[in-house]
Structure 1
Amino acid sequence: MANTYDLIYAVVRQIPVGQVATYGQVAELAGLIGKPRVVGYALYRVTEADEIPWHRVINAKGEVSRSPHRNGTDYLQQSLLEDEGIEFDAAGKLDLQRYRWIADTAALETAIARIQQSLGMASHPD
């Protein structure tokens, strides 16, 4: 699973300040179509030392996914996004049309190729 997580992290590192991606979007870009939960599992393991902007990944409704297992990081995630200029409405949603990240395909392919090369992988895992 570490190889899959590395691909996910390579995608997430590309999301710029003030923009977000959905779990499904990250999964698709990492070659894990239909596996957004894997993205969630990978991001749950991120520590501060990893320098991965985990907080920029949200659910397809434009919300921070809330869970009692996240030990309060739900609120931290929204706060970090607000610090980057992202606005939430009273219901806790953000405007995906405004804030959704559109990947720079060339930069993303380069980042993923670098990860695959370092892991000795030929292509995305299934």
Structure 2
Amino acid sequence: MGDDDHELLEELPELADLVLAIVDQIPEGRVVTYGDIAAVAGSGPRQVGSVMSGYGSMVAWWRVLRADGRPPQGHEDEAIAHYREEDTPMRNGRVDLRRARFPLDEVEGVRPA
């Protein structure tokens, strides 16, 4: 993230700041679900979705997806292009969560709620 993004983060609600910090640490080719983030952030998947809807453009938003491996709704084509570029494991048009899921216990500064 650039300096301008860090300045904006100072103005974000606490949950948004936490969610974006988590997403920012997901490596290329790996993904998490809204529920994965919610479990460590102490919120619900819908709240994580709201954060991503409002602020996701600040991070690699395509690395956060639904529990069934489908990319974010309305952004499928762009997300799939990112998955291909990053060699994210896919199967039948969806991300293969078994192979691509990133364990959030490896994320710095985040403890499971």
With normalisation by structure 2, the TM-score equals 0.76
Deviations 1:6-29 (A, max 9, x none): 111111111111100000001112
Partner of 2:51: 42
Contact 1:14–1:108 under 8 Å retained in 2: no
What is the 5 A alignment of 1:91-102? 92-102=93-103
Asked whether the 8 Å contact 1:11–1:29 carries over to 2, the reply is no
Cα deviations by residue, 1:61-111 (Å, 9 ceiling, x for unpaired) = 111132xxx4xx221112112210014333x222111000012446133xx
Large movers: runs of 4+ above 6 Å: none
The answer as to 2:61 corresponding to 1:61 is no
Partner of 1:26: 37
Judged with a 3 Å threshold, the aligned counterparts in structure 2 of structure 1 residues 94 and 37 are, in CA distance, closer, same or farther, namely same
Tell me the distance in 2 between the aligned counterparts of 1:95 and 1:47.
22
Secondary structure of the residue aligned to 1:45 is helix
Match of 2:27 in 1: 16
Aligned residues: 101
Residue of structure 1 equivalent to 2:109: 108
Cα distance 1:79–1:108, how it changes in 2: closer, same or farther (>3 A)?
A: farther
- Residues 86 and 99, structure 1, Cα contact 8 Å, conserved in 2: yes
Q: Secondary structure at the match of 1:108?
A: coil
- Matched with 1:76 is 78
CA separation of 1:54 and 1:104: change in aligned 2, threshold 3 A? same
**SS state of the match for residue 28, structure 1?**
helix
Instruction: Return the TM-score normalized by structure 1.
Output: 0.69
